[in-house]
């Protein structure tokens, strides 16, 4: 049974499910309808959201190889795999998925931060106020069953990036924290700077 989370709420993933090893982190969003500016104006450019995972050691980002994104789809440990970039967010369900092998994540990693940024947001004049139905969900890969979901409901107008949530170790178990923090970072490189 899936748990619906609120902003800032934390939930244990492994306390009552010790055999949990692989989770699919699904992220999704829809573009809000936009009006054309005039009869001959070009159609507005599609919003390209990019999901990434910032893997932290002792709460810090210490190695550029610890960023899993569309340019580095697999962490060198083999425990975090990005399933590829969706350029438009069109369609139902998850727009991007990241598979995490919790049982294999090396012990030195204590937090996996899931972020989404709008590609070239400033250049294109785009922001998360133009996005609706954004969510992050965690699925038990062995059972293909959703464990928890966090639907982002705040108004994120003017925000170009988003810290959706994090999976972290605490007292020997894995937990999930629903963050939902909007930022004006222009890209994933700037998001990473928050953790150095």
In tens digits, the chain (196 residues) has pLDDT values of 789 999 999 999 998 888 899 999 999 988 888 666 666 666 678 888 999 999 999 999 999 999 999 999 999 999 999 998 665 445 568 999 999 999 999 999 999 999 999 999 999 999 999 999 999 999 999 999 999 999 998 999 999 999 999 999 999 999 999 999 999 999 999 999 999 9
DSSP letters spanning 65-128: GGEEBTTB-B-TTSSEEE----SS--SSS-SEEEEEETTTS-TTEEEEEEEEEETTHHHHT--G
Q: Cβ(26)–Cβ(51) under 8 Å?
A: no
């Amino acid at each position: 049974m899936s748990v619906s989370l609120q902003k800032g709420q934390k939930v244990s993933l492994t306390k009552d499910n010790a055999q949990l090893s692989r989770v699919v982190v699904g992220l999704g969003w829809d573009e809000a309808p936009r009006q054309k500016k005039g009869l001959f104006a070009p159609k507005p450019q599609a919003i390209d959201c990019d999901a990434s995972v910032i893997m932290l050691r002792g709460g810090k980002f210490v190695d550029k190889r610890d960023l899993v994104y569309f340019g580095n789809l697999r962490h060198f440990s083999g425990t975090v795999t990005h399933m590829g970039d969706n350029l438009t967010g069109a369609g139902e369900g998850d727009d991007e998925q990241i598979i995490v092998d919790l049982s294999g994540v090396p012990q030195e990693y204590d937090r996996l931060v899931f972020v989404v940024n709008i590609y070239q947001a400033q250049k294109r004049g785009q922001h998360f106020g133009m996005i609706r139905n954004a969510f992050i969900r965690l699925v038990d890969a062995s059972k293909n069953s959703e464990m928890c979901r966090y639907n982002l409901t705040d108004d994120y107008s003017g925000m170009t990036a988003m810290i959706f949530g994090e999976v972290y170790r605490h007292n020997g178990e894995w937990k999930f924290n629903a963050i939902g923090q909007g930022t004006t970072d222009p890209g994933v490189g700037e998001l990473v700077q928050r953790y150095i």
